[in-house]
Structure 1
Amino acid sequence: MRGVVFTGNRTLEVTSFDDPEPGPGQAVIRMKASGMCGSDLHFYRAENPLDFLVQQGLITLGAGGMDASSRIIAGHEPCGVIEAVGPGVDPARFRPGDRVIVFHYEGCGTCDHCRTGWTQMCEEGTRPHGAVKHGGHADYMLVPASTLVKLPEQMSFVAGAAVACGTGTAYGAILRLNLSARDTLAVFGLGPVGLSAVQLAAAMGVEVIGVDIDPGRVAAAKAFGAAHAINGKTHDPVEEIHRLTRGKGASCAMDCAGGNVAKQQAVRATATWGRIALVAVGGNLDVVGWNDMIARQRTVVGSWTFSITGMKECAWFIADHGVEVDKVFSDRWTLDQAAQAYTSFDKQAGGKGVFVFD
């Protein structure tokens, strides 16, 4: 089979691997869609992707078969069809031909976090696909059957790939905010995660205000369901959000941009008793003072992707409400176009890319 391997300094190879065979409790997935995530660019841009993993504390060389020659298939937004299952997989739950989304983390399976579906917080250390374990930019993928969620028939494989990370991450943050139609939500950063948050919240009946410094993304927010869209380069988002909310501020905000400014604006754009979810990696709240937090009774929560049960809930919310999450992907590629696809994605001038398979 073919698989995409990042080789350092913005280069990659489409490499041949042996076709996987399922062991006990495992399943082989024939890939139908594999999304490209902004976090993939960290590995793509790194001088040495393996060294980057070590520096980030994701792996220890010599552990789990990892060494300097390890070549890991990229991609952690996988969706496809079960090709085969190994011994011990209950056919009442999963069988060949089932359409599935892959939850892209593996853990010990027995700690409290793993048992409650939060494998990325495993006490023994999580093993994410596309970084430590082989990912979805390949013809086939070998995974524990416990990482699978059935894809609703109403959804395309491309939509399933969106849910596998970016859109699922937006839904996870919405759950952390306990969002309802009574709320007003300000979304800072209108990349794939931010636009997914706009789309999902709008489907819940929430009044959404989108904020970005890129005019194209600001325009896209309206198409994704935002009631208002603000260009943060030409207008002060905090002032504009207070103006739009009769001086009160939004009841909720979400930082999907990263960086100090977006996080601080997300806090200050909310009303008294406001709730803020920090989703994007990067940036600090070091200049947000006590009067911004304590005196306003604001609550800030961190939101790191989603649980496997949250992924399932997200998929069914999309299916039940007819949310067109396929629109998150602006570019579709074949695996043989991987070099061109990542060169384009690396510019971060457009939207999100996805590999599609016959």
Structure 2
Amino acid sequence: MKAVVFLGERELEIMDRPDPTPGMDEVVLEIRASGMCGTDLHQYRGPRRSPDQLVIAGHEPCGVIVEVGSAVLPQQAKVGDRVVVHHYDGCRVCHSCRSGWTQICGSEHKRTFGGLDADGAHARYMKVPAHTVIKMPDDLSFKAGAAAACGTGTAFGALKRLNLMGDETIAIFGQGPVGMSGTLLAKAMGARVIALDVSPERLEMAKRFGADVVINPMNDDPVTAIRDVTRRGEGADKTMECSSNGAARRQSVESLRRWGTACLVGVFGEITFDVGETIQRMKTVVGSQTFSKNLLDDCVHYIAEHKLDVEDLFTHEFTLDEAKRAYELFDTQKIGKGVFLFD
């Protein structure tokens, strides 16, 4: 089968790989949609990879199970099931793994599928442990499932971490795939949304997804602008930082009202803020790494039940043969989200 492999230094290759065969506790999916995530860019742009580091990219898998291992129970997974994949595996016995948070497993057995240390979904077929698959509602499309498998699911997990309420105002820093999903979901949850990004194109998309206020930090000071449009000029009730930008991280804390909570989602880098001001205003800063298996299950059902237009997050569709152009375009960070579709 053809498969996309990141080489590093903004290069990729479409390689021939053997079709996978499941082990006793594994399943094989026929991929129908494989989303492109902002995290892909870290591997795409990263240093050159050695031959033993070359794995199939893509960690937003959605498809149909076509083969199951001999030890997989029918209630776990069966041929024909439409599923998304929780793209992590761990030791399966520690407290984190048993509670569905395999991505924070501390053992040497931890694996992340799709461009990191295990093969992913930018190929016709993908092999995963049976415990990682989540069955989709019948009326959820494969594209929507692919979005939930990482970007939209990550936003859902962060909003749950924030315990966002319908009478609150949230400022979402960065309107890439995760931030845009946050805007869509936060509006569905009844909140007032302030969307921030340096890209006018992404701010226009945020308006279409329901943002009540949009702010371009290149034109206005974000902290002042947020206070100007919030109750009594105090700031946002909650903030979500998705850009990984150091200044934006600091601003996400500074722009909170008293007793407000900031959630850091964008990975890598550092944050610097005034500890005194944070203490005096009783602020809370939390981190959120993607979502648990149960939260992914909750997310796909939330999308289906609320009939959210998650598919519209995808501004571009590609075939696997177009992978080079797809990532060159995605690398500009001026588009919404891309997806590889399979017939």
> Normalising by structure 1, what TM-score?
0.92
Q: Which amino acid aligns with 2:160?
A: L
Q: Which amino acid aligns with 2:191?
A: V
Which one is further off, 341-350 or 72-81? 341-350
Matching residue of 1:340: 325
Matching residue of 2:70: 87
Matching residue of 2:159: 174
| Distance in 2 between residues matched to 1:19 and 1:43, nearest whole Å | 23
Q: 8 Å contact 2:263–2:287 — kept in the other structure?
A: yes
Matched positions, count? 340
Q: 8 Å contact 2:53–2:117 — kept in the other structure?
A: no
Q: 8 Å contact 1:20–1:28 — kept in the other structure?
A: yes
2:39 is the counterpart of 1:39: yes
Q: 8 Å contact 2:31–2:124 — kept in the other structure?
A: yes
**TM-align CA RMSD:** 1.3
Matching residue of 2:138: 153
Structure 1 stretches lacking a partner, 5+ long: 51-67
Q: Which amino acid aligns with 2:247?
A: V
Counterpart among 75, 85, 102 of residue 119 in structure 1: 102
Instruction: Please state how far the C-alpha of 1:279 moved relative to its aligned partner.
Output: 0.5
Q: Which amino acid aligns with 1:261?
A: A
Q: 8 Å contact 1:164–1:311 — kept in the other structure?
A: yes
Matching residue of 2:213: 228
| Distance in 2 between residues matched to 1:117 and 1:140, nearest whole Å | 24
Describe the SS at the equivalent of 1:272: strand
| Distance in 2 between residues matched to 1:292 and 1:253, nearest whole Å | 16
Matching residue of 2:254: 268
> Normalising by structure 2, what TM-score?
0.96
Q: 8 Å contact 2:76–2:131 — kept in the other structure?
A: no
Q: 8 Å contact 2:149–2:296 — kept in the other structure?
A: yes
Q: Which amino acid aligns with 2:48?
A: N
Q: Which amino acid aligns with 2:304?
A: A
| Distance in 1 between residues matched to 2:44 and 2:76, nearest whole Å | 36
Matching residue of 1:55: none
Q: Which amino acid aligns with 1:293?
A: T
Which one is further off, 339-348 or 163-172? 339-348
Q: Which amino acid aligns with 1:128?
A: T
Q: 8 Å contact 1:36–1:354 — kept in the other structure?
A: yes
Q: 8 Å contact 2:76–2:130 — kept in the other structure?
A: no
Describe the SS at the equivalent of 1:347: coil
Q: 8 Å contact 1:267–1:292 — kept in the other structure?
A: no
| Distance in 2 between residues matched to 1:44 and 1:332, nearest whole Å | 19
Q: Deviations over 1:147-170 (max 9, x none)?
A: 000111121101111111111111
| Distance in 1 between residues matched to 2:52 and 2:211, nearest whole Å | 47
| Distance in 1 between residues matched to 2:223 and 2:17, nearest whole Å | 51
Instruction: Please state how far the C-alpha of 1:46 moved relative to its aligned partner.
Output: 2.5
Matching residue of 1:249: 235
Which one is further off, 275-284 or 265-274? 275-284
